[in-house]
């Protein structure tokens, strides 16, 4: 037989709580403890409020460009639920729910988008990296962070997030290849939200799925409903267990949708069909979970109102904290260039100038 099959594969798609409210008991039973769900719902309500308020802050000139997370709350939250405190979240910029659950103070994210690097000073003990601006480069850091955990034999792992557009970047492929080839404890999660600013995911790849991007590197790949907290939690837990057991990385494609513009500097109406948006608004992950919890008797209207009220108060407090922080010293941006500032930089910092007419500026009377 001259032609045989060298390799065959298939991509599973995992859905547990679908958009019509159907729940797969065989997969979903006990996945998230029922007594944890109210706290999760409160968290989601708060995160959605903060996200919508951040948009208003930008529009009123109180914050710079901001990328809204609305609609994409579940993938990173599922990761945070599936990992331990010592594990790493290596994210891009639509993972607020997971980062906050993992311990990042929300003020950090606001400060970042308010143009203040002090927001990137992740508190000690919170294993997360700051917002990653260059697309698709942070997955290599996740590979390295996980490599260090492997070298130190701690058992800790790293989960990294990126968009569908980022899978077109070379660094994504290098990270996937390093992690698989060196058997590093990494979970790759692609949030396929349909759009890389104005370019649809169909242009990013001619493949049927993004999940299959991982196959060529020799890692298990799975696709899940990214708007389904249960499906995402299941695939995350499986992937985290594999990583922790020393079996190497997993690639997860979370199929979700960016319900808002790319950032506050974008207007998606220029390129996105209104009908498509409507379709996905009906799949909004928050009402889906809320309806299911209410039907199960795990949540009710009064709890929701209470969550809305406390969420509002918390958002106000966080904004107040972020806006109330004392301005940095005028030369603060010099301070962390190196552990020890070179003399030439000290001179620039202290004199606030780069000219000297042949003399040190401080000698110029």
- Residue numbers of the site for another protein (CB under 8 A)? 117-118, 120-122, 124, 129-130, 134, 137, 140-149, 151-152, 158, 170-171, 174-175, 177-178, 181-182, 333, 335-339, 342-345, 356-359
CA distances from 163 to 3, 134, 194, 254, 258 (A): 37, 12, 9, 9, 11
CA geometry: angle at 70 spanning 69 and 76, to 5°? 55
Q: Which of 156, 136, 162, 148 is nearest to 251 (CA)?
A: 162
Closest CB to another protein among residues 17, 179: 179
Q: How far is residue 340 from each of residues 118, 209, 349, measured CA to CA in Å?
A: 19, 48, 13
Q: Which is nearer to another protein, 306 or 336 (CB)?
A: 336
Quick check: 99 and 76 in contact, CB under 8 A?
Answer: yes
* Nearest distance from C-beta of residue 94 to another protein, angstroms: 19
Report in angstroms the alpha-carbon separations of 348 from 96, 202, 335, 340. 37, 49, 12, 14
Q: Which is nearer to another protein, 2 or 358 (CB)?
A: 358
Q: Which of 13, 59, 269, 271 is catalytic?
A: 271
User: What is the residue-wise DSSP string for 35-74?
Assistant: GGHHHHHHHHHHHHHHHHHHHHHHHTTSS------TT--H
DSSP H or E stretch at residue 349 = helix 343-351
Tell me how far, at minimum, the Cβ of 61 lies from another protein, in Å: 25
Tell the smallest beta-carbon distance from residue 331 to another protein (Å). Answer: 13
Query: CB of residue 251 vs another protein: minimum separation in angstroms?
Result: 16
Of 160 and 256, CB closest to another protein:
160
Task: Closer to another protein by CB, 80 or 176: give it.
Answer: 176
91/138 Cα distance (integer angstroms)? 7
- In the bound complex, what is the minimum distance in angstroms from residue 194's beta carbon to another protein? 26
Catalytic residue from among 48, 102, 213, 258: 258
Which one of the listed residues 48, 242, 262, 288 is annotated catalytic? 262
Catalytic (active site) residue 258: yes
Return the number of the residue (68 or 138) whose C-beta is nearest another protein.
138
Contact residues for 288 (Cβ-Cβ < 8 A; gap 6+): 17, 19, 21, 227, 228
Q: How many residues does the chain have?
A: 365
CB of 182 to another protein, least distance (A): 7
- Catalytic residue list: 258, 262, 271
């Amino acid at each position: 037989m001259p032609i045989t099959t060298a390799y065959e594969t298939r991509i599973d798609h995992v859905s547990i709580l679908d958009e019509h409210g159907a729940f797969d008991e065989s997969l979903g039973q006990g996945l998230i403890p029922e007594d944890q769900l109210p706290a999760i719902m409160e968290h989601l309500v708060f995160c959605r409020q903060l996200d919508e308020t951040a948009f208003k802050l930008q529009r009123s000139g109180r914050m710079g460009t901001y990328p809204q997370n609305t609609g994409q709350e579940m993938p990173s939250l599922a990761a945070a639920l599936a990992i331990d405190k010592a594990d790493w979240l290596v994210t891009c910029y639509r993972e607020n729910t997971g980062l906050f659950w993992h311990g990042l103070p929300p003020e950090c994210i606001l400060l970042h988008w308010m143009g203040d690097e002090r927001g990137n000073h992740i508190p000690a003990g919170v294993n997360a990296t700051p917002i990653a601006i260059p697309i698709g480069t942070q997955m290599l850091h996740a590979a390295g962070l996980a490599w260090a955990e492997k070298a130190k034999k701690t058992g800790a792992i790293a989960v990294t997030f990126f968009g569908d557009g980022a899978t077109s970047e070379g660094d994504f492929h290098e990270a996937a290849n390093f992690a698989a080839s060196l058997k590093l404890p990494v979970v790759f999660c692609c949030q396929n939200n349909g759009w890389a600013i104005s370019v649809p995911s169909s242009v990013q790849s001619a493949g049927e799925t993004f999940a299959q991007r991982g196959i060529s590197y020799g890692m298990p790949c799975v696709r899940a409903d990214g708007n389904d907290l249960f499906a995402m939690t299941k695939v995350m837990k499986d992937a985290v267990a594999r990583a922790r057991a020393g079996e190497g990385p997993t690639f997860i494609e979370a199929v979700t949708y960016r319900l808002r513009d790319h950032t506050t500097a974008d207007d998606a109406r220029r390129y996105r069909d209104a009908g498509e948006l409507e379709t996905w608004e009906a799949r909004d992950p928050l009402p889906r979970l809320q309806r299911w919890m209410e039907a199960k008797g795990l949540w009710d209207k009064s709890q929701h109102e209470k969550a809305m009220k406390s969420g509002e108060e918390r958002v106000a407090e966080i904004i107040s904290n972020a806006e109330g922080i004392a301005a940095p010293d005028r030369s603060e941006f010099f301070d962390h260039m190196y552990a020890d500032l070179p003399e030439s930089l000290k001179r620039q910092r202290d004199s606030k100038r780069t000219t000297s007419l042949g003399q040190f500026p401080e000698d110029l009377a």
